[in-house]
C-alpha cells in the first residue's frame, strides 16, 4: 500500500486532543481524565455473562446464567454499551479509526491487570468471516486483542479458528433466531496449546457469538473459557 501521509495527517490519529471533548491531552488518540471518569463503567455485573446487575445485587450470577449457564465460565466487560461508548466503537468499526482500539484495550488491560484470578494462557479474538474481513479490511476484535496481549504478556492467536459461515449480523435478527444463526459458525483448526483461553470481542450483546466460539474451542480441547469485551449491551 502506498503510504498516504496526507490522509494520515488529516486522520483523527494525529491530533493530541481528547476524542470526546477535544480538550488538549498531549497524547495521540486519548481521552482526558474527566471523560474517562464519566464513561458508563460497569459497576455490578454477572460474573459469568457480564450483564449489568441492579445496584446492590450481591448475586455472583444473574438468573439466566443460573438457569442456563453459557459455555464460558466468566466475562469481563468494563463498560456499558451506551453513549459515548457506542460512538467510540462505531468510529473504530465503521470508520476504521484503529487507534481507538488501543485506547479501549488500554482501559480493559488496566482493569484486567489488577485482578486476582489467574490469567488465561491465550487470547483469541472472535474471527470475522473472510468475506467481511475483506470488505472491512480489519477485524476490530483482533485490533483489540493485539495490544491486550502485548500489555498483559499473553500470546494472541488469530489463526486457531475461523468463521466458516458468513452469518447475518446478530443485531438484525430476533433474539430467538440468534443462536440458530450462529450454529457451527466457527471451526477450530488444532488443539489449543493451553486449556484456559480468553475470547476477545468489541461488544457483547446476547453472548451467543462468544458462546458459539467457546463451544467450538471446548470441543477442540479447551477447558476454561472467559470472554473479554470492551462493552456489554443488555440481554
Report d(CA 159, CA 128) in Å as an integer: 12
Q: Any contact of residue 21 with Zn ion (CB under 5 A)?
A: yes
Residue 53 binds to Zn ion (criterion: CB under 5 A): no
Strand bridging mode 224-232 / 122-125: unpaired
Residue 23 and residue 36 in contact, taking contact as beta carbons nearer than 8 Å: no
**Binding range to Zn ion, per CB under 5 A, among 58-66, 93-101, 174-182, 210-218:** 58-66
Using the contact rule CB under 5 A, the part of the chain among 16-24, 76-84, 119-127, 174-182 near Zn ion is 16-24
> Which range in 2-10, 56-64, 80-88, 186-194 contacts Zn ion by CB under 5 A?
56-64
- Nearest to Zn ion of 47, 111 (CB atom): 47
- And the C-alpha cell for 217? 474451542
Size of interface with Zn ion, in residues (CB under 5 A): 11
CB-CB contact of 226 with 72 (8 Å): yes
Which of 29, 30, 32, 192 lies at the binding interface for Zn ion (CB under 5 A)?
32
Q: If binding is defined by CB under 5 A, does position 46 make contact with Zn ion?
A: yes
Question: Which grid cell is 12?
Answer: 483523527
CA distance linking residue 165 with residue 233, whole number of Å: 24
Q: Does 107 bind Zn ion (CB under 5 A)?
A: no
Report if residue 214 touches Zn ion, rule: CB under 5 A.
no
Q: How many helices (H) and strands (E) does the chain have?
A: 9, 7
In whole angstroms, how close is the CB of 45 to Zn ion at the nearest point? 8
103 makes contact with Zn ion (CB under 5 A): no
For position 231 contacting Zn ion by CB under 5 A, the verdict is: no
Separation CA 51–CA 133 (nearest Å): 28
Specify whether the CB–CB gap between 200 and 123 falls below 8 A: yes
Other residues' Cβ atoms within 10 Å of the Cβ of residue 67: 8
Query: Which one among 62, 188, 229, 231 touches Zn ion, defined by CB under 5 A?
Result: 62
Q: How far is the CB of 117 from Zn ion (least distance, A)?
A: 17
Query: Which residues bind to Zn ion, rule: CB under 5 A?
Result: 18, 20-21, 23, 32, 35, 46, 48-49, 62, 65
Amino acid at each position: 500500500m502506498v503510504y498516504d501521509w496526507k490522509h494520515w495527517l488529516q486522520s483523527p490519529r494525529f491530533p493530541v486532543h481528547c476524542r470526546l471533548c477535544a480538550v488538549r491531552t498531549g497524547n495521540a488518540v486519548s481521552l482526558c481524565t474527566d471523560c474517562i471518569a464519566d464513561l458508563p463503567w460497569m459497576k455490578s455485573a454477572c460474573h459469568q455473562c457480564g450483564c449489568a446487575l441492579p445496584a446492590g445485587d450481591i448475586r455472583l450470577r444473574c438468573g439466566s446464567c443460573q438457569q442456563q449457564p453459557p459455555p464460558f465460565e466468566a466475562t469481563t466487560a468494563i463498560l456499558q454499551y451506551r453513549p459515548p461508548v457506542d460512538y467510540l466503537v462505531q468510529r473504530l468499526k465503521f470508520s476504521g479509526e484503529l487507534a481507538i482500539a488501543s485506547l479501549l484495550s488500554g482501559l480493559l488491560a488496566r482493569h484486567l491487570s489488577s485482578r486476582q484470578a489467574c490469567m488465561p494462557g491465550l487470547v483469541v479474538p472472535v474471527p470475522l468471516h473472510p468475506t467481511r474481513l475483506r470488505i472491512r479490511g480489519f477485524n476490530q476484535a483482533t485490533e483489540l486483542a493485539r495490544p491486550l496481549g502485548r500489555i498483559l504478556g499473553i500470546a494472541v492467536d488469530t489463526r486457531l479458528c475461523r468463521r466458516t459461515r458468513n452469518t447475518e449480523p446478530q443485531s438484525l435478527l430476533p433474539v430467538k433466531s440468534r443462536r440458530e444463526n450462529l450454529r457451527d459458525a466457527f471451526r477450530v483448526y488444532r488443539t489449543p496449546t493451553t486449556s484456559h483461553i480468553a475470547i476477545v470481542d468489541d461488544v457483547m450483546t446476547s453472548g451467543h457469538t462468544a458462546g458459539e466460539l467457546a463451544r467450538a474451542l471446548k470441543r477442540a480441547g479447551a477447558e476454561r473459557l472467559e470472554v473479554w469485551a470492551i462493552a456489554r449491551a443488555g440481554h
